[in-house]
Structure 1
Amino acid sequence: MAHAGARLVSAPGAGRQVLPDADEVAREAAERLVVLAGAKAGRIGICLSGGSTPKLLYRLLAGPAFRSRLPWDRLHWFFGDERVGDGPEAGSNRRMVEEAFGADLVPPGHLHPIPTGGPPQACAAAYAAELAAWYGADRLDPGRPLFDLVLLGLGEDGHTASLFPGKPEARESGAWVVPVPEAGLAPFVPRVSLTLPALGATPLLLFLVTGAGKRAPLARLAAGEDLPAGHVRASGEMVWLLDAAAAG
């Protein structure tokens, strides 16, 4: 049996690129988005990730180097996961993106945050309905992606989005969005997450992985451990963008 980490790199459409640091990982992701946007007419759906490296990316996109290179009027921004409920942590990914992009860059209705008020089951159902409205159907067609680009990170425990090791949400194969009543890491607040089928319904999926703390989960994936990040499959190209510290 092939190791999970080996599959991530050697499977058709998968790749691995090592860059000097987190800034260069963010810049490479930004350049790929520019290329994607230039190659496609009409609206473009991007599924965002939380975390420190994606935050660098979002600030870069809104900055002078990339702001004018992107068709902001055609870009729609979705979220791979979010903390929900009535605690101060709720909506942290949305706030991060809003802070990075600023008030005037994204046209009204082009940012699609996961609802955070109420039980996680209701928030998940509401976001599933929004994704179905965007897609125009409530079942995925293998020939038609849900997103044009998906960004993901890798947790130190091997989770991605809010799909944690040993939790049933990481094995969901039907729904696009699931409630996560109990997170696998602090803060232990309820979350909502897109599932592996929804996250993989894209022609381009980028894992942004930076820092020495990510060496251990990368090694665990390469050793064949059953971790959620190792089960991600894209309908098109999947690339792991690593910085030198993570790659070791």
Structure 2
Amino acid sequence: MTGNARVVVHADAAALSEATAARLLLALVDTLSTQARADVVLTGGTVGIATLAAASRSPLAASIDWTSVHVWWGDERFVPAGDSDRNEGQAQAALLAGLPLPEENIHRMGASSAFPTAEDAAAAYAADIADAGTPAWDVLMLGMGPDGHVASLFPGHAGYEARGGEAIAVHDSPKPPPTRVSLTLDSIVRAKRVWVVAAGAAKAEVVARSLHGDLTLPAAAVRGTSETLWLVDAEAVATV
């Protein structure tokens, strides 16, 4: 991990979600006070979606010009549109549907019902990023699995080793469903702010290993150009 990384510990997963939601909304307010557009990369997972639900309840949401916010994803399950496994559908229900956010500002990764292969979906997402000017993500949120994966970059898996480009197809994922689309590590570390969000005792070992720089874990390799935050609950840092 790089020297600019900071660990912020909250009492439990609920407090973590509420605090991260407030942090996200304030980051968007601050970003839009100095530039015309904000690009935020969302994550799925229990805490990630709980964070979006908390953001939807916050009065801070009303202070943001959502027409200037663009929403992206770090990874997506390559399943049909409307499938309950898709991160974008969960995010839509938790937050996005209730915002005055133009549809063209929501950059969903392609579904298997729209693209013949995950490679095609990844190429289309890379083209979408290029068309947007290859933004340096203003905030990029990542959940972390108990194996130390982030986005759909898994330890010892080819996707973690891939370099160059913006998005890749992931096959034979250790976590179902087996086929996914993910941002590359190179795309992730272009972000200004990278936030790794983790909760629970099951993740304590890999949180400790990541914080001590075990680069066999993708979570240990991510960083932001101006800020790297580990936003965790007390159980997740019990062995640090």
Please state which band the TM-score falls in when normalised by the shorter chain. Answer: 0.7 to 0.9
Flag structure 2 segments of 5+ consecutive residues without an equivalent: none
Paired with 1:21 and 1:108, the residues of 2 have a C-alpha distance of: 34
2:159 pairs with 1:169: yes
Map residues 92-241 of structure 1 onto 2, 5 A cutoff.
Answer: 92-101=86-95, 103-105=97-99, 106-117=101-112, 118-135=116-133, 146-185=136-175, 187-221=176-210, 222=212, 224=214, 226-241=216-231
Q: Secondary structure of the equivalent of 1:131?
A: helix
Q: Counterpart of 1:244 in structure 2: which amino acid?
A: A
Per-residue deviation, 1:146: 2.1
Paired with 1:129 and 1:209, the residues of 2 have a C-alpha distance of: 31
Whether the 8 Å contact between 2:119 and 2:168 is mirrored in structure 1 is yes
| TM-score, with structure 2 as normaliser | 0.88
Q: Secondary structure of the equivalent of 1:109?
A: helix
Matching residue of 1:141: none
**What do you get for the CA RMSD once the two structures are aligned?**
2.0
Whether the 8 Å contact between 2:25 and 2:61 is mirrored in structure 1 is no
Q: Counterpart of 2:39 in structure 1: which amino acid?
A: G
Whether the 8 Å contact between 2:166 and 2:184 is mirrored in structure 1 is yes
- Seen in structure 2, the aligned counterparts of structure 1 residues 26 and 68 have a Cα distance that, compared at 3 Å, is same
Matching residue of 1:142: none
Paired with 2:136 and 2:58, the residues of 1 have a C-alpha distance of: 30
Whether the 8 Å contact between 1:37 and 1:71 is mirrored in structure 2 is no
Q: Secondary structure of the equivalent of 2:140?
A: strand
Identity %: 30
2:14 pairs with 1:23: yes
Number of aligned residue pairs: give it.
230
| TM-score, with structure 1 as normaliser | 0.85
Q: Secondary structure of the equivalent of 2:97?
A: coil
Paired with 1:91 and 1:156, the residues of 2 have a C-alpha distance of: 19
Flag structure 1 segments of 5+ consecutive residues without an equivalent: 1-7, 138-144
Per-residue deviation, 1:147: 0.8
Map residues 4-43 of structure 1 onto 2, 5 A cutoff.
Answer: 8=1, 11-40=2-31, 41-43=35-37
